[in-house]
Amino acid sequence: MKIIRTTRSMAAWSERLRREGVTIGFVPTMGALHDGHRSLIRAARLRCDALVVSIFVNPAQFSPTEDLSAYPRPIARDRALCREEGVDVCFEPTALTMYPEGFQTTVTVPVLARRWEGEARPHHFAGVATVVTKLFGIVHPHLALFGQKDYQQAALVRQLVGDLNLGVTIQVRPTVREQDGLAMSSRNVYLSTDERRIAPLLSQALQAGKQMIVGGMLDVAAIERVMRQTIEQAPTIHVEYLAVCDPDSLEPLSVVSAPAVLLGAVRIGSIRLIDNLLVKLPGGKSGLRVERGIKPLTD
Ligand code: AMP
């Protein structure tokens, strides 16, 4: 496995392979890799001839009060996981390489970024959209994989790739969970034993909401009430939002019309956790098109 740290060598590597007709798969990450990342890497490995994983803790998507400097960076372990999964290149640019002096461009997707995570973290999605656009420009992949875990992010990436004709196929893979339902996240390591014990309440609340919809409940207020009550069993969890939304626009629904996506964010102590569940009714469209199988590149 090659480790590349400069944008110029990364771009040159990709261009050489593209000229040879090699298909390039790409999984952008911030490192501290877990089985959620692993599932994206495996799916990409199956579909592409060559595979690039980027590890870059992107300062532009953290606000000054967030955990940029504390974000876990177990680089040796991350590289080992990438080697194990047959990754060809681990792209590890520095912040200065990505944002040299004089850098001034920002990519925004204002409507999809307005609510939910965008409201809680005002500059977050501009940072995400900008870095994803840059990474696509450098790595120039045919296919890039994202996790449903970050539903709003995946929706925004799909939008920006279409709007800017970036020519990258986007595939969204299902959320990988711990046995008790907690969505895997690099931030879970921050949870104390007590916090970890109550953290699955978020996924349980979303499951409760999903069951109500599947059972025919159409009243969003009633669904949101049950989801909130599920979480409030533990007084130390603070609900930031729990919502039943249109799976494409992410606008809140007042009456459930499947498909829908249930979005949730909670705070336990100083740690924010997010999660979501898609609800499809039989024969309905599937919202963000979360792909469980592996499809051909030309889809
Ligand atoms: P991050 O390193 O947190 O920026 O995540 C990199 C990619 O991994 C993003 O596309 C995430 O949505 C995805 N990801 C993170 N956690 C999970 C998970 N539990 N299941 C599936 N994908 C995930």
Q: Which residues line ligand 1 (CB under 6 A)?
A: 29-30, 36-37, 39-40, 146-147, 149-150, 173, 175-176, 183-186
The domain of 57 spans: 2-173
Q: How far apart are CA 127 and CA 62, in angstroms?
A: 8
Q: Based on the domain organization, do 128 and 207 belong to the same domain?
A: no
Nearest Cα residue to atom 12 of ligand 1: 147
Q: Based on the domain organization, do 127 and 225 belong to the same domain?
A: no
| Number of C-beta neighbours around residue 196 at 10 A | 16
Q: What angle do CA 39, 42, 46 make, to 5 degrees?
A: 140
> Side by side, which strands form the sheet with 260-268?
237-245, 260-268, 271-279
Mean pLDDT calculated for residue range 218-232: 96
The pLDDT, as a whole number, for residue 227 is 98
Q: Based on the domain organization, do 162 and 72 belong to the same domain?
A: yes
Q: Based on the domain organization, do 157 and 247 belong to the same domain?
A: no
| Any domain includes 121 | yes
Tell me the whole-structure pTM to 2 decimals: 0.95
What is the domain count for the chain?
2
242 CA to middle of ligand 1, Å? Answer: 20
Q: At what angle do helices 124-139 and 151-163 cross, to 10 degrees?
A: 50
Q: Based on the domain organization, do 95 and 140 belong to the same domain?
A: yes
Q: At what angle do helices 7-19 and 124-139 cross, to 10 degrees?
A: 50
Residue ending a domain, choose from 147, 173, 199: 173
The pLDDT, as a whole number, for residue 257 is 78
Condensed to tens digits (0 to 9), the pLDDT of residues 10-67 reads 999 999 999 999 999 999 999 999 999 999 999 999 999 999 999 999 999 999 888 8
Instruction: Give the DSSP letter string of 207-254.
Output: HHHHHHHHTT--BHHHHHHHHHHHHTTSTTEEEEEEEEE-TTT-PBPS
Q: Based on the domain organization, do 267 and 122 belong to the same domain?
A: no
Q: Based on the domain organization, do 121 and 215 belong to the same domain?
A: no
